[in-house]
Amino acid sequence: MSVHAHPDDESSKGAATTARYVDEGHDVMVVTCTGGEAGSILNPAMNRPEVLENMSEIRREEMARAAEILGVEHRWLGFVDSGLPEGDPKPPLPEGCFALQPLEVPTEALVRLIREFRPHVVVTYDENGGYPHPDHIRTHEVSMAALDAAADPEQYPDAGEPWQVLKVYYSHGFSKARILKFHEAIMARGEESPWVEWIERFNERPDPGDRVTTRVECGKWFERRDDALRAHATQIDPTSRWFFSPLDLQREIWPWEEYELVRSEVPTSTPEDDLFAGIEDVREPALRAG
C-alpha cells in the first residue's frame, strides 16, 4: 500500500516500483488522501476555463487513468485538498480541509483500508512530507497513526479485524547524488542541464539521500512511470524537467527508486534492494495482531 496526499503524487513518487511489483504478481493499492481540488494548473495546454470549472472531476479522471496505467488498485480517502498557502504572512488554511481535520477522523478512514487490504508493506512520506505542503505533512501523521491503530484491537474496533503491517517505508526522491549524476551525464553529452538551480539549493535543505536504506531497481518500468505522470495532464507539463533526462540515460546511471526503512516486524538488514526483503512469502496472510 502506498499512501499519498494528492492525485499525481503516486506517479511522481515510487511509480516505477509499484509497476514492477504489480508485474511480479503483488497486489498494490494506492490511497489518495485528498481530491487535489486546490492544485494549480501546471500544464499551460490545460489552462482553459472548462478545466478550471471542473477541476475536481478532471483530477479524478486523471487519477483513474494513472491507476490503470500502473495496474494498481486505487482508493480515495475522501478529504478536501488544503492548498499550498503562499504569501507573507501566509493565509489560513480553508475550513474543513484535510490538514485541519482532527487526526482521528482520517486515521480511522485509513485504518479501515489497511484492515481491509491487509498490506505487508506500507510506503508513505517522512515527517517533512517530502516537502512542506500541509497535506503531505498530514499524510505522514495520519499514516503513522493508522499503522499503530490498525494493529491494535482496542482502537477503532468497528473498523475491521486488526492487522499488523510488516514493514514501513518513507519514499525519498531527488537525492543530491542522483541529481549530480544526471547533471554530470547531461553535461557530458554537451547538452544544457536542467538541474543547475537544484544543485545551487542543495545547501539550503537536507539531502534525502542521507536517509536512504533501500534502492529498488525498476528502470524497466520508467516508461510506465512517465505514462502515468502524463495522465495527470493538469499537473504535469510534458515539456517540463520531469522528462528532460532520456530514459536510456536514467536506466544507465540511476535505475532505482529510493526508500527509507523506518519499521520492520521481520528480520532484515540494510542496505536493501527489495521492499519485501525479510518477508518470506508475501502471498501468505500477514501476522494478525491481538
| pLDDT tens by residue, 37-69 | 987 788 888 888 888 788 899 999 999 999 999
Q: How confident is the model at residue 289 (pLDDT cuts 50, 70, 90)?
A: very low
pLDDT at 94: 94
Question: Taking 90 as the threshold, does the pLDDT of residue 73 lie above it?
Answer: yes
Binding-site residue ranges:
6, 9, 136
What is the average per-residue pLDDT within 202-208? 82
User: Strand pairing partners for 9?
Assistant: none
Q: How far apart are CA 84 and CA 82, in angstroms?
A: 7
What is the average per-residue pLDDT within 230-257? 90
Identify how many contiguous H helices and E strands the chain contains and give both numbers: 10, 7
For the chain, the structural domain boundaries read: 2-174+209-264
Best CATH choice for the domain 2-174+209-264 from the list 3.40.50.300, 3.30.390.10, 3.40.50.10320, 3.40.50.720: 3.40.50.10320
User: Strand pairing partners for 29?
Assistant: 73
**Residue type at 97?**
C
Q: How confident is the model at residue 122 (pLDDT cuts 50, 70, 90)?
A: very high
Quote the strand ranges of 138-264, DSSP E.
167-172, 214-217, 256-264
What SS3 class is residue 73?
Answer: strand
pLDDT at 203: 76
Average pLDDT in the chain: 92
Question: pTM here?
Answer: 0.93
Binding-site residue ranges for Zn(2+):
6, 9, 136
pLDDT at 281: 59
